[in-house]
Structures are given as structure tokens and as C-alpha cells.
Structure 1
Amino acid sequence: MATFVRLLVAEVERRVSRLFKAERGEGPSSFLEAPRTEKLLERGAGGELRYGLAAMQGWRAHMEDAHTAQPQLPGALAAWAFFAVYDGHAGSTVAQFCARHLLGEVVAGEAFAGPTESPEAVKEAVREGFLRMDSRMQALARAEGWEHAGSTAVAVLVSPRHLYFVNLGDSRALLCRAGRVTFYTEDHKPSRPRERERIENAGGTVTLHRVNGSLAVSRALGDFDYKAVAWRGQTEQLVSPEPEVYELARCPGEDEFLVLACDGVWDAFDTEGLCTFVRSRLLLTGDPQAVCEQVLDTGLYKGSRDNMTCMVVCFQGAPGTSEAALQRERELDAHLESQVAELYKELQEQGDVSLVAVFRCLASKVNPSLPPGGGLASKRAVIVEAYERLRQSSEAQQSGSSESGAPC
């Protein structure tokens, strides 16, 4: 029942979101008639880290996501790494600019110049870097007439001793340690008490969980229309560019992987679900890029209509390919193929055979062997392939029967 309620609430929020987009002139034209499923793929390695990334435009009319992935920073920071996902809205200008320049602003602080690492100094340097970046972009936006765009940002700065999670908006990052979620960032929604207080103090309102009934996040880079209250400071505006920065000590024997993803992915997965899904897929391939591809495909089939970007960063303790896991997956695929065959025959006898009907029947059955977090949607390719083989075989048999019964 609790799962049903969560799904119902998520669907209501999605529909409200579409309603507001339509009111702002972002209605049907903001979505395509069919999703664009081509993926931007990337992988890399540096030091003790390796990462994979996949990004997909999906149903959106434009791709507005961007990212930064540096598994090994240059020069004196060669033992450090930086990963970030930027989710643009109302255009991609801010997200793309951040992907190119934000890291430089972050590491420009004195906290990165000394021989020793001070977590408090690093956190403050990150915060100041974000604020400088926002001021820099605001000046450029005025001078160059930028579009009225904004972007969320979620990042992880990896040092030899610590992990620094940086969050601004509703993209999200998590850490899997010893097989479970140990930490994840919390979305900046306008309805959170602290966010609501700042918005109302700046003369705004929170309506249906949105800033002035329009913007769904309370912190972001860009969005300068929401940062024009003259009597308020930079971090006291309707929308704040100030990130929340969290520091965790590393556990080299237990840290497995990081996941960074935009809200298009989180529309389809909850935090625990995505962690368990990624871990289960790493046991099959050991390849973070392949896992990210599967996350996006599954998210699309689970109903996400937004741009999707997912990045998986593996530590040395990340799961590798497991023969036992591969065997379980082969058995699951064989079981699903068998079920599809049985359902196809039953539905054919009822005169109502279709792929949708097959999925509906499969979804009504409890199957604990399905990938955790991904469910039936993550096995869509197996089901479609089995269905198509049966359909083509049936059509061939019908064609053969009609030919054999035809007069010479």
C-alpha cells in the first residue's frame, strides 16, 4: 500500500508539473511525439577511480543536461577528482557554462593551495566558488543577453581522505558503501521549511510546491529573474545559488560507488532502488558505462519524460562480474521467455494478443527474481524480443496455412 501511495503522489506531481509548464508556454511543444533514445556515452579512469556516463534527451524537445567528469585533476591536485551533473531548465546555456567553468572557480580557493587538507576550508571554498560563478554568469547574462535559463548542480569532489558532496537543486548523488546507501543529498524543494522561509522573506510565495507558483526548485545557478530583490543579499533571494556541502571520511575497504543523476532519473527511481539496481547490474558487467545505459533505458520505460543523465563512479571496492549473478540473470531471462510464450498462447486463444497485454499480465505476477529497483521495466528488451519471435513465427504459420489451402 505504501508503494502504491508513493507512486500515486509521484504521478500527481508529474501532472501538476505539466500543467504549470503549459501555463508558462511550455506545453506540448516542449515534448516530442516520440522519445529520442540516442545516448551520449562516456567512460574514463584516473588514479584509483573509473567512471561511466550516459545521457539521453528522451521525450523533451531539447537536451538541457550537461556534466563534468575529471577522475584526476591536473597539477598539484592529481590525487583529487571531480564529478558533476548539471540539469538545465528553460535552456541549456547555464548548464553548459557550468560544465566548462565551475570546477575552475571551485578549486581557485586557498584551501586547495596548501599541503594539508582542511575539510572546513574546502567546504567554504566550494561554497564561495559557486557564488562567484553565479555572479560571473549574471554579469555575462546582462551583457550578452542570455536566455532566462537556470541549472541545478550535483557534484562530488573526491580527495585522498574525504568525499565532498555538493548539492544545489533537485539532482541527487548517493554513496554506496558496503552494499547499501550510506549517504545521499537532499533535494532543494520550495516547500522545505528553511527554503520557504527564505522565499517568503524575499517577498515570494510557495504555491503547489513551486516558487511563485512556477519554479520547482528553490536553489539553482542562473534563474536571475528570481534574484532581483534589491534589499536581499545573494544567498537570500527567492532562488539561492548557495550549495549545501557535506563531507564524509572515505572508507577504502568499504566504499563501492557513487551515483550522480538529474531529476529525470529520480522521477523513475527512489534512492534505495537506484542504488540496488546499479549494484545488481555491476555484478553482471563490472562496466559503469553499461550500467548507466541500463539505468536510462529502464527510467524511460518506467515513465520518465525528462532529460536523463546518470554517472556511476567506481572505487576499487566496487562489485565486479559475478558468475553466480550471471547465472541468476540467465535463469530469469529463460523464465520470462517461457512466461511470454505461455501468455502469448493464452491471449491468442482469447483473440486479444498484443505486447501491451503481455506486459500487463506479467506485471500482475509477483516475481522476486526481477532486478531490484528496476523491476519488469529493466527486462523490457528480453520480453519484446521473445514476443517478436512468437509473433513472427505465428504470422509465418498463418501464411503457410493460407498458401497450402489456396487453389492451384
Structure 2
Amino acid sequence: MNGGVEPQTPPDSPSMDAGVGKPPRHHLTSIRHCASSARIAAAAASSPDYGLDLGTMSLISPTDVRAGFLPVFRSGSCAETGPKSYMEDEHVCVDNLIEHLGGRAAGIPAPGAFYGVFDGHGGTDAACFVRKNLLKFIVEDMHFPTNVEKAIRGAFLKADHALADSHSLDNSSGTTALTALIFGRTLFIANAGDCRAVLGKRGRAVELSRDHKPTCKSEKIRIEKLGGTVFDGYLNGQLAVARALGDWHMKGPKGSISPLSAEPELQEIVLSEEDEFLIIGCDGLWDVMTSQCAVSIVRKELMQHNNPEKCSGELVQEALKRDSCDNLTVVVICFSSNPPPQIEIPRSRVRRSISLEGLHLLRGALDSNA
């Protein structure tokens, strides 16, 4: 189910009872790898006596990545209410940004794509508004497309302020927001909340965002510096996230600095042929599944049917089997028209044998049990 981006403000929508919301993060200084082959390599090189054979423990990746590589974007999504009584998630998938923007696409590098997941709380107003307007705010920002990071940051704050100014939307409604904007090989991840973006890199999971929970050390320090508190894992005892758009009943006057921040944390990377797909999902998925598990499931499924929509559905169904207690929204974005290749695992270079003495001991043990 692919969402569109529209410039108009959504009409009045009935607000739900205020629910518990979610958090965001700040500038990432590095990409976190769920499986560190570098650490394994270092251990093997420094400890030959342990007989570690790196060939049996790490995955072979091509070393000749073509400089002219350009990704091909295709995506699939799945959204389920789950055990909750109503759906507050929203998402958007734009595989061809140039075509989608039409006359507004002048100066934008091709190919381009835009994706987002928005996990609402306290009703659907905020998530619906942000889904419909965030891309428009990015494209219309004065810094776009010369300074994409500034444009994205400005768009998040503009959307937040628009929620405060609206008389038709519930000001107690809020939403987390995670977007992926891609120009050519350059991927920009922006996150405010506890949605997560995970890159599948030849079978290895690479987290491109940080969950903004109030209990996260850097978020807790920021919250307390601004006069907020973290009680039982909740910001000011009310919200399960440290960053979100909306929630103006908690933020105070517009323009003031609030413990609940709408500022996104940004990550920029350059894609290579090793980068096979991206998973973005709301916390209903990540509450019950590790990043590496999700990547392993998607890669296996893509090798079988090469259908990103089926992959997103498989992740949602697996999360439901694991008793996820939240709405579930997942988007899988592939960077190639082909399925992932089979990963080569070389034969072990270490011969495993048993000594004559060991053979005699084994034979004796078997005879005694006869």
C-alpha cells in the first residue's frame, strides 16, 4: 500500500484518546554495524593460536564496486493495525521522485526517491498531516536542492509549527517521523522518534538511525537540561519518545525550546553495489525483532521471489507471531532490479583432524557404552 504526498492540509479528523507516543535522536557520528566483520578479522590476525579461520566466519563481498553504479528504486509496504483497536501509522512511497514532482523537479539529480514512516499517537491528525505535507515542505525550502540537510531539517520544523498553527487539527496529536530521501547514490535518512532505518549490506544489517527513547543517555541528558524529566521510561511521565512532531499540549509556546524536540537526526551515506535494500519501520516491528533478524528475513525472501512488498508483509506477519503489541508499518526499498546474489562462503583453510590418542579415547568411550 503506497501512500501519496499531497500539498493540501487534511480535513478535520476525529481525534482518538491521547495515547502514548514515541521518541527521536541526534546527529550520528558513525554508522552502527550489527555484525562486525572487522572485529572478527582483527581477532583472527592477532590470535592465530585459536585457529580462527576468517573464511568460515565472514561473508565475501565484491571488492570491485563500479564507480558508475546507480541504484534502481522499487519498494513495497505493509501496514497492519495489529492488536490495537485503531490504526495511527502512516507511510509514503515515491519510487520516481522526478516524475512525482513534475515541474517542481528542476535541478534535482536523477534518479530520485522518497519514503517515510510516521507513527502517530493521540489520534491520527499529526501523522496524516505530516505524510501529506513533509515532502512538499522539503522541496519548497529555500535551501533545496543545494543544501539537502538544511532543507530536511527546516521541513521537519515547519511541519511541526504548522501543526501548532492549525485550527482544524487536534493539538494533542503527535507523530514520530522517519524519512529516506535519495538522489542518485546519495541517501539521506532523517529521524525524529523511534522508527528505524536499517540497510541490508550483503546480508549484514547496518543501522542508519537511532531510536529516540527518553531512556537513551544522550536524550535523557538533553531532556533534563531543558527542565524535563524521565519517569518510568516516559518523557515527563507522558510520552514514550523523546522527539516527535506535534504534541503541542506538551511543548509550550511556539519558538521556545522544549524537552520534546521535533528536530530530526540526520545521516548521509553514498550507496554502493553492496547495499542491497533498506528497511524502514515503526517501532511495532523493532520492539520484537533485531535489525539483523529483519535483514536476514528480507534477503532470504528476495532471493526466493524478488518482491519487496511480499518481504514487508513477511516482516509484519513475523512481528505479529512474536506478539507485537503496536501498529505495524514496514517499507522495504530495493536498490536493484535483480534479487540479491548467493553469498559465497569459502571452504575452511584449517584442517580439523583427531590424533591417534584421541581416536583411542573415543573408541574406548564407545566400547564402554556398548
Q: Is TM (by shorter chain) over 0.5?
A: yes
Unmatched runs of 5 consecutive residues or more in structure 1: 1-23, 28-46, 115-120, 323-408
Question: Which position in structure 2 is the counterpart of 1:88?
Answer: 120
User: Alpha-carbon deviation of 1:293?
Assistant: 1.1
Q: Which amino acid aligns with 1:202?
A: L
Query: Which whole-Å CA distance do the structure 2 matches of 1:308 and 1:87 have between them?
Result: 9
Question: Which position in structure 2 is the counterpart of 1:129?
Answer: 155
Question: Which position in structure 1 is the counterpart of 2:263?
Answer: 242
User: Alpha-carbon deviation of 1:113?
Assistant: 4.3
Is residue 182 from structure 1 mapped to residue 203 from structure 2 by the alignment? no
Is residue 208 from structure 1 mapped to residue 208 from structure 2 by the alignment? no
User: Alpha-carbon deviation of 1:319?
Assistant: 2.8
Question: Which position in structure 2 is the counterpart of 1:157?
Answer: 181
Would the aligned equivalents of 2:90 and 2:117 in 1 still touch at CA under 8 Å? yes
Aligned CA distance change for structure 1 residues 183 and 203 (closer, same or farther; 3 Å): closer
Would the aligned equivalents of 1:206 and 1:212 in 2 still touch at CA under 8 Å? yes
Query: Which whole-Å CA distance do the structure 1 matches of 2:227 and 2:80 have between them?
Result: 37
Aligned residues: 270
Of 173, 180, 186, the residue aligned with 2:197 is 173
Matches within 5 A, 1:4-403: 48-73=72-97, 74=101, 75-76=105-106, 77=108, 79-113=111-145, 121-140=147-166, 143-144=167-168, 146=170, 148-228=172-252, 233-234=255-256, 236-251=257-272, 253-316=273-336, 319-320=339-340
Q: Which amino acid aligns with 1:240?
A: S
Query: Which whole-Å CA distance do the structure 1 matches of 2:185 and 2:335 have between them?
Result: 13
- Percent of matched pairs sharing the same residue: 36
Would the aligned equivalents of 2:78 and 2:313 in 1 still touch at CA under 8 Å? yes
Higher relative contact order (CA 8 A, sep 6+): 2
Question: Which position in structure 2 is the counterpart of 1:385?
Answer: none
Indicate the SS of the match to 1:188: coil
User: Alpha-carbon deviation of 1:294?
Assistant: 1.1
Query: Which whole-Å CA distance do the structure 2 matches of 1:180 and 1:283 have between them?
Result: 15
Per-residue CA deviations over 1:76-98 (Å, capped at 9, x if unaligned) read: 33522110000001111100111
Tell me which protein shows more helix as a share of its residues. Answer: 1
Larger displacement relative to structure 2 (162-171 or 187-196):
187-196
Q: Which amino acid aligns with 2:159?
A: M
User: Alpha-carbon deviation of 1:320?
Assistant: 4.8
Q: Which amino acid aligns with 2:160?
A: D
Would the aligned equivalents of 1:284 and 1:320 in 2 still touch at CA under 8 Å? no
Aligned CA distance change for structure 1 residues 113 and 188 (closer, same or farther; 3 Å): closer
Would the aligned equivalents of 1:202 and 1:229 in 2 still touch at CA under 8 Å? no
Aligned CA distance change for structure 1 residues 196 and 320 (closer, same or farther; 3 Å): closer
User: Alpha-carbon deviation of 1:197?
Assistant: 2.6
Per-residue CA deviations over 1:290-320 (Å, capped at 9, x if unaligned) read: 1111111111011101110010000117635
Indicate the SS of the match to 2:158: helix
Question: Which position in structure 2 is the counterpart of 1:342?
Answer: none
Would the aligned equivalents of 1:190 and 1:209 in 2 still touch at CA under 8 Å? yes
Query: Which whole-Å CA distance do the structure 2 matches of 1:124 and 1:25 have between them?
Result: 32
Aligned CA distance change for structure 1 residues 318 and 272 (closer, same or farther; 3 Å): farther
Cα RMSD after superposing both structures? 2.4
Unmatched runs of 5 consecutive residues or more in structure 2: 1-16, 21-70, 343-370
Query: Which whole-Å CA distance do the structure 1 matches of 2:338 and 2:228 have between them?
Result: 45
Q: Which amino acid aligns with 2:157?
A: L
Per-residue CA deviations over 1:149-188 (Å, capped at 9, x if unaligned) read: 1111111111113111111100101111222123331101
Aligned CA distance change for structure 1 residues 318 and 203 (closer, same or farther; 3 Å): farther
